[in-house]
Amino acid sequence: SQQGEEDPQALSIQEGENATMNCSYKTSINNLQWYRQNSGRGLVHLILIRSNEREKHSGRLRVTLDTSKKSSSLLITASRAADTASYFCATAPIMSSGSARQLTFGSGTQLTVLP
């Protein structure tokens, strides 16, 4: 099964509203990343939060990480129609050797921002 699972699977909001997407994962991680994918395009990196960080901001994006609950959230404030896309969380699980494995992507949240 996927290491990261996003919730909800789909979200529809009005322009100007805030959008919150959640990600849960199963194993200990080195870091967690969020990516955006516009229809028919490749994924674009948004933000990386390390396991020792609790919150990170980038423009209208706010990411939180709760390692005790193995969960993360992505908040997009003052959403715009251009934010319409799929959003994926990706985790870098830590191996027993202590090194971080390659990224494992969740199934994504489809965000629709209505003008």
Partner 1 sequence: DAGVIQSPRHEVTEMGQEVTLRCKPISGHNSLFWYRQTMMRGLELLIYFNNNVPIDDSGMPEDRFSAKMPNASFSTLKIQPSEPRDSAVYFCASSLKGSGQGNYEQYFGPGTRLTVT
- CB-nearer residue toward partner 1: 22 or 30: 30
- CB-nearer residue toward partner 1: 106 or 113: 106
Structure tokens at 113: 């921002």
Q: What distance in Å separates the CA atoms of residue 11 and residue 83, rounded to the nearest whole number?
A: 12
Kind and range of the H or E element at 25?
Answer: strand 19-25
Q: What distance in Å separates the CA atoms of residue 65 and residue 33, rounded to the nearest whole number?
A: 10
Residues of span 83-112 touching partner 1 by CB under 8 A:
88, 90-93, 99-108
Residue 38 Cβ vs partner 1, minimum distance, rounded to whole Å: 11
Residue 61 Cβ vs partner 1, minimum distance, rounded to whole Å: 14
Q: What distance in Å separates the CA atoms of residue 24 and residue 104, rounded to the nearest whole number?
A: 12
Binding site for partner 1 (CB under 8 A): 2, 29-31, 33, 41-45, 48, 88, 90-93, 99-108
